[in-house]
Structure formats: structure tokens, C-alpha cells
Amino acid sequence: MTRLASRHRPGRAGAVRISVFVYGGYRNRQPLAYAPIRERLGDRIALVDTAEDAQLLVVSHYKDFELFGDRILALLDRLPHLHVLLLSEEPFWDSIWMPDPLARSQRYDTGRGHIQYTVLSHQTSAIFHARHIPYFLLTDSRYIAHYRPLFSRNAGMSAEDWHRQFAHARHDAVFLNIRRTGRLLHPCYPSAGLWALSVYRSEFAALCRGTRVVREGQGWVSAPPRQELTDWHADKLCRFDLSCRYMSAFENTHQPDYVSEKIYDALAVGAVPLYMAAKRHGVFRLLGSEGWLNFSDRLDSVPAFDAGRPVDLATCAAYARLQDRMARLFDDRRAIEDEYERLCTTLMGELTGIAHGPD
């Protein structure tokens, strides 16, 4: 198991409200693993080194029950006060591996006994229901730092400027995703607005037409994963800055509150994002409905998108307005801090309710 990079200790006697033992093989993929969020939680959370000192045992992936279920059950036998929580930031994991990704209260059968646990995810909690800036952009200060100068520059460009830029772009379209296939990656819960997109976006990339289409990632080219770079995000923005007409921003999963960095990356480098968002998706609240292409009406059949087609002047005008909006947003320190406070307050409310709830 990997360890969190750092731990908060109680700042003063009696100040800490919730003690948390983070456990499992995916412990670095949940809100408490990220320094900007931990710093703002401060003394409200204590990350402890042993389950004996904790009110909550937190795992981050359903696989952790498969891998460590017997150990968790043994801890619960010794520590009946301990509450088990699956705190998940990944709808992709939830929809693929969790037997019921829509249920908040669940039970895992180890073969020797049952583990009762609560699920806090995009689907079961308001933690990830962003007002201004999506959760993922809050996990590392570099994201907003990277975006701020790019959106500031982009905001100075008119619709006519963008029209010329798109007409002379070096790349027709860019796709930077793992190429995935297989029935396992097709879970679909339409009533909840939850369905997988990994296979869809891979097929979309394969079918995309154009003389200058970039397709990179595992399954497309033989190269180390981008995440092994010192700063994969800065590398992406630098490589494709003002060089492409369209950029794939498809998520790996369609979920109403799941918006990652991808659509912001496309906008930051000056490309028209290719995306999928059904009605009531959070992207409309965060970005509006113009300045990007939405393929939500093509879920049942993957289109052969022509990336060589020009971007019309009306779309360029909407795109320029969206760039202005993004420049104002990422320069608004109060909006950023308000989003952190919303996230931390909601998270604390959830953790407190579970820790102090009925045994």
C-alpha cells in the first residue's frame, strides 16, 4: 500500500472533530490525499496512523474490499466503533467494479462475514457538485496556475481572430486517451445519467476524419504513460498550445457531476472541445452550452466526425465569449476559495454524519 504524502496532526487539544484512518491500495485517490484540500480542512480532520485511533476507516476503490476485506473485517471485530467509508472520486471505477454504483449504503461479503459501509461518490453525495470550478482542478494548485495566463491571453482574441486561428491550425484534432475496448467497459444506468464513455471515445477517435489527426495514449502508440512525466499537464498544454482546431475532452464516464480537466485543457490551448453531456449535466452550469461541440445525441452510434471542417463564425463568437468567462473565473480568487470552502464544508458534513451516526 502506498502512503499519503503528509498527515495533519491536531493543532490544539480538542480542536480535531473527525479522526480518519485511510486504508487500501488506492489511498492517494480521494479528497483527503490532496494538499490544497487538507490545508483548508486544517484541524477539522486528523489523519491517523492506526485504526485504533480512528472514527472512520476510509477506502477509495471497491477493489480494496476484494484485496483487504478479511483485514478490514478483523479490524471491525476488534473495533466495533469504527465506521467504514468508501470515498470515491472516480465514477469510472464505481460504474465498472461496484455492484450497485447508485446505492449509498452497501455491504461486502468477505466469505467470513459482512462489512457494512457507506459510499460517498459523485452519485451518492453533493461533495462533487461544483458551483464554479470542478473538484479535480482543486486537487493540485498547478491546474489553475497553468490555466490563468492561457485564459488571460485567449480572452484578448475576437471571434475573427479565432476564425483565422482555427482555419490555419496545425492539427485538425487531438485525442489523448487510452484506447479501450470490451463489454466490461459498457455499464449504463440511464435513469441516473451514468454510463461509460471509454469505449465510445476510443471509437470516436478511430473514426475521426482529417489529414492531421493526433491519436496518442496506451493502445494508440508505444510510449510511456503521460503520467510518468514530471508535469504531464504542463506538457500537454505546451505541446498543443494554439496548434489544433478540435481536441477531445470526452470523459471516461458520463455522470452529471463529473467534469475533469479535459474540457478546460482544450479551451486553454485554444481548441474547440469535443464533449458529451446530456441534460442536467454539470458542464452546463460551469461552462454554459456554447463554444464546444456536444455529441450527447449520438450515444447509440459513434459518428465519423470530420475534423477538417471549418469552425463557423457564430461558433467562434460563442467561443470568444466563453474564453472571456474562463479568464474572469480563473482570476477570481474569491470564487476559487468559495469552491474550496463548499467542498470542505460538504465533505465535513458527510464525515461528521457518518462518524457520529448510529453504530
pLDDT digits (tens, 9 = 90+) for 122-161: 999 999 999 999 999 999 999 999 999 999 999 999 999 9
| Strand order across the beta sheet in which 45-47 lies | 45-47, 18-22, 56-59, 83-87, 114-120, 105-109
Task: Return the minimum-mean-pLDDT range out of 9-18, 129-138, 178-187.
Answer: 9-18
Task: Return the minimum-mean-pLDDT range out of 36-50, 174-188, 295-309.
Answer: 174-188
Give yes or no for residue 171 having a pLDDT over 90: yes
Contact status, residue 314 vs residue 290, Cβ threshold 8 Å: no
pTM over 0.85: yes
pLDDT digits (tens, 9 = 90+) for 341-351: 999 999 999 99
Find, among 317, 35, 259, 255, the residue nearest to 132 by Cα: 259
Q: Residue 358: pLDDT band by 50, 70, 90 thresholds?
A: low
What integer pLDDT is reported at residue 359 of this predicted model? 52
Give yes or no for residue 305 having a pLDDT over 50: yes
Give yes or no for residue 1 having a pLDDT over 50: no
| Strand order across the beta sheet in which 272-275 lies | 213-216, 171-176, 244-248, 272-275, 293-294
* Distance (Å, whole) CA 179 – CA 52: 43
Find, among 129, 127, 147, the residue nearest to 32 by Cα: 127
Task: Return the minimum-mean-pLDDT range out of 76-85, 293-302, 319-328.
Answer: 293-302
Give yes or no for residue 219 having a pLDDT over 70: yes
Return the axis-axis angle of helices 141-154 and 232-239, rounded to nearest 10°: 20
Give yes or no for residue 13 having a pLDDT over 60: no
Residue 15 Cα distances to 42, 76, 354, angstroms? 10, 26, 19
335 - beta bridge partners? none
Mean pLDDT score across all residues of the chain: 93
Q: Residue 191: pLDDT band by 50, 70, 90 thresholds?
A: very high
Q: Residue 187: pLDDT band by 50, 70, 90 thresholds?
A: confident
Give yes or no for residue 11 having a pLDDT over 50: no
% of the chain at pLDDT higher than 90 = 86
The DSSP output letter for 216 is E
Q: Map residue 239 onto helix, strand or coil.
A: helix
Give yes or no for residue 288 having a pLDDT over 90: yes
